[in-house]
Chains A and B, each alone.
Chain A
Amino acid sequence: MDPQQEIRNFIEKLLRKKGDLGPFDDAESLILGGRLESIDAVEIVMFLENRFGLNFAEIGFDQISIDSINLIHGLVRSHDSGETAKP
């Protein structure tokens, strides 16, 4: 599956679990916009570590870097291409 779609499915599942069935686009601010909380960011971190092998201890972590689908996808892409992702 396309990583962006996979990330989207995961976020959709997280939102659904919270009872949030509203639409969202890939650029939308999810954490700073208030739809997801810190504990959800933890779920995203674990998902990215397990599914895409990201190591946040190495690259650094900031909520802003996973605030939207596009940002998360960018993080995964830069990891895949061997770049150092900026938090």
Chain B
Amino acid sequence: MQQPLSLPATTKKGRKFRLIPKFEDDPRIVSFAQTVVGKLVLLAIFGLVLSTMDEGWKMKLAFLSAMAFLPQLRWLLVLACTLVLTSFFSLDQGFLNSIARAESVQLNQLKLAALVLLPFVLACAAFMLLAALRPKGLFARRPLPWLLGIFFGLLLIACYAPLHGSARLVAWALVFVFSSYFWFLAYAISDCVAVGKANLLHQFATFRAFWGSTAVPIPKGTSHWRRIEAKTPEDLAVTMIKGVKLMVWCLLLSYVNHYYAIVVQQKLAIPNLEQCLNAFTGGKPFPMVVNWASLLGDFLEGLLWFAVWGHIVIATCRMAGFRALRNTYAPLSSRTVAEYWNRYYYYFKELLVDMFFYPTFVRYFKRSPKLRIFFATFAAASVGNVIFHFMRDIHNVLKWGLPRSIVGFQIYVFYSLILALGISISQVRARKPHASRGWLHQRIAAPAVVFSFYCLVHVFDSTGLGGLGSRLHFLLYLFSGR
């Protein structure tokens, strides 16, 4: 279960030990947090911690302060801060520069804004308006297939159309910007259909908000934001207290991560997984025990790093007045494969569930609940997962060409199939009533099995080039030493 935000944990009797107390349950602290001094204290603690982890902390803190005192302008301030911090749009300029050099074209910001960003923003606005004006229309009812069609059409043009010079640069820039904002736009269109109007300011505010996102919208789209937005001064105080608490927890975790990396990489000198894989494919594998240590070390380090990153994002989001759930919440306590997936990268899972799982689930195999869950889970955890990562790593197509990029995805396709199978079985099993199991099973055995599953499939969690055969061989080597 994800961390409840507004409700007391009531599943256990008695008081649970907490490293950071539940200050938000103390009415005196909540009252104080509503005063000017209280807000300043919260902002100061938050800013102090953020300054140790984020270079853009000054700008973020300035905007968060404005949001704390002018909550009625919150959405506008989110949009303004995002625009300032991302130089009007988040776009990987490295790849564009390489195309510009290859095509002998001068790349400048004005040209980029006029030929790429402005048309993209106008197209997004047109899609949103179309969805809002015709909620029963073909586009509004199934926006995702349409958007995917447009994206891959654009990709084919960029790859194969006889374009040269600025035209080629613009085509690729549109592909990059579209892939970067694709899922934000998908959520925005769904929201426009749901509410029957397109509030463009609110919609664009959710596009890679300043607290940070990958290609995954955190925390989802506008309708979600509206629902979790602090509505009263008390709500805001509780949300900000939770933001500060999460940031402090994040600082502690970042220290753990730092010293863990020192121990694994420097003291124990364990190579990372990529080095182990390279040594193995090069015919000079490390000893079996080193490979196991590397797999374990790599997996845990990745988990810690990811938790720290997600906590910074969510803590900042909470300081802005949105009671978002954590992105990562105690994944190692998961007792099922599906639970781990929910706890590890909550907003990615939500994206796949919203965009692929539910649309499939409500349409197909209605008479067979098990098959229905299996099919929808495969649509999300496998098909959706692969599409998402292919689009996220779209620069690979520029580097390697389309056919090679597709073939290169075989390892990730295999990974997604195993993942979907594990999650499907886990979900179907979870629906059956189980006799209550003992402490050892609940707290040790089941989490250990889940951890082992994810640790092993981590071998295949790669979107880079390379053969599936060598990864399978490496896995075999882990067990057999041959």
Contact = CB atoms under 8 A, between A and B. Distances in A.
Given A57-B362, A61-B358, A24 B7 contact: yes
A45 to B, nearest CB: 7
Interface string A29-42: 10011110111011
Interface residues of B, number: 41
A22 B1 contact: no
B480 interface: no
Contacts of A19: 11
A48 to B, nearest CB: 11
A80 interface: no
Given A62-B190, A64-B224, A33 B7 contact: yes
B60 to A, nearest CB: 25
A3 interface: no
B72 interface: no
B292 interface: no
B361 A45 contact: yes
Contacts of B366: 49
Nearest to B2: A34
Interface residues of A, number: 33
B262 to A, nearest CB: 34
A23 to B, nearest CB: 7
A60 interface: yes
A67 B362 contact: no
Given A60-B141, A62-B194, A64-B194, 14 more contacts: A19-B11, A20-B10, A22-B7, A22-B9, A22-B11, A34-B325, A35-B7, A43-B431, A49-B366, A56-B358, A60-B193, A60-B194, A86-B194, A86-B195
Contact of A39 (B227, B228, B363, B427): B427
Contacts of B35: none
A33 B4 contact: yes
30 contacts: A17-B433, A18-B1, A20-B10, A21-B10, A21-B11, A22-B7, A22-B8, A23-B10, A24-B7, A33-B5, A33-B6, A33-B7, A34-B4, A34-B5, A38-B350, A38-B353, A39-B431, A41-B358, A42-B373, A56-B358, A60-B193, A60-B194, A61-B358, A61-B359, A61-B362, A62-B190, A62-B194, A62-B354, A64-B224, A87-B194
Contacts of B350: 38
Residue among A49, A56, A60, A61 with most chain B CB within 10 A: A60
Nearest to A55: B362
A22 B10 contact: yes
B223 interface: yes
Contact of A34 (B3, B195, B223, B338): B3
Interface string B224-252: 10011000000000000000000000000
B219 to A, nearest CB: 9
Contacts of A86: 194-196
Interface in B153-198: 190, 193-196
A22 to B, nearest CB: 3
Interface string A53-78: 00011001111100100000000000
Contacts of B227: 29, 32, 64, 67
Contacts of B357: 38
Interface of A: 17-24, 28-29, 32-35, 37-39, 41-43, 45-46, 49, 56-57, 60-64, 67, 86-87
Contacts of B430: 39
A42 B361 contact: yes
Interface string B321-364: 00001000000000000100010000001100110011101110
Interface string B305-329: 0000000000000000000010000
Contact of B362 (A20, A24, A56, A64): A56
B369 interface: yes
Interface string B1-25: 1111111111100000000000000
A15 to B, nearest CB: 9
A61 to B, nearest CB: 5
B196 A45 contact: no
A38 B342 contact: yes
A-B pairs, top 9 by smallest CB distance, nearest first, are A22-B10, A56-B362, A34-B2, A34-B4, A57-B363, A38-B353, A57-B362, A19-B11, A61-B358
Contacts of A43: 431
Nearest to A58: B362
Contacts of B5: 33-34
B49 to A, nearest CB: 24
A34 B1 contact: yes
Contacts of B358: 41, 56, 61-63
